[in-house]
Structure 1
Amino acid sequence: MLSQILDNEARERLARISMVKAEKARAVEDLLIRMAQTGQLRGKVNESQLIEILEQINQQQKPETKIVYNRRKFDDDEDEDDFNL
């Protein structure tokens, strides 16, 4: 079905992407198939249109940056007694 949706250059780019990032390629394929089934595509998708779709997916899938601080608690009461002799 993708051969009916994508032109040769776009299909080649998607194949190269799938070698490196299979999940991203699968998401693009699913999106393209849904768009074709709902009639949102007018003709074959070229490489520049595929790049735009990839950019949209990248914006949606950006992972949320999360910083976690693990503070260790030190029990210094006993250690201070050794140094105060």
Structure 2
Amino acid sequence: MDDADLEQIRKARLEQLKSERKGQGQGDQEQQKQQRQQQQAEARRTMLDQILHPEAADRLGRIRMVKEERATEVENRLLMLAQSGQLRQKVTEAQLKELLNAVADNKEEEKIVVTRRKVWDDDDDDLLDL
């Protein structure tokens, strides 16, 4: 092996080490992002435990199994009310039902409208030829 071959091997190894270092940096960022998301989710659960009676929390959990989007929307509203100081006491199951009804009333159901074109039907002309 001459010096040119050794230099090429060194360059290739250096590039390999650089790419591995970049990959580790991206992995660290991804790991930090996941940790932040877990911390935020834990903070949400803690706050919800503080503002909901156990029966209401249980009902919200059952709703989450069926309609996760609606449960998240209700949780967001509850957290917003708690942060603004509008909740004086823990939310009961009856109050949660009222909030669910309010969310359901405000949410407009998506409707699919089918518009059919009126096409001239020539089937009647076939009967005249008999």
**TM interval, short-chain normalised:** 0.7 to 0.9
In the alignment, structure 1 segments of 5+ residues that lack a partner are none
Deviations 1:9-65 (A, max 9, x none): 000000000000111100000000000011111111010110000010010013155
Question: Please, what TM-score do these two structures have when normalized by structure 1?
Answer: 0.82
> Judging changes above 3 Å, is the alpha-carbon distance between structure 1 residues 59 and 81 closer, same or farther for their aligned structure 2 residues?
closer
Counterpart of 2:114 (choices 60, 63, 68) is 68
Which of the pair has the greater relative contact order for Cα pairs under 8 Å at 6+ separation? 1
Counterpart of 2:79 (choices 25, 30, 33) is 33
Question: Please, what TM-score do these two structures have when normalized by structure 2?
Answer: 0.56
Counterpart of 1:17 (choices 51, 63, 66) is 63
> Which structure is higher in helix share?
2
Residue identity opposite 1:57 in structure 2: V
Residue identity opposite 2:119 in structure 1: K
In the alignment, structure 2 segments of 5+ residues that lack a partner are 1-46
Q: Secondary structure at the match of 1:43?
A: coil
- Which whole-Å CA distance do the structure 2 matches of 1:53 and 1:32 have between them? 9
Counterpart of 1:51 (choices 80, 94, 97) is 97
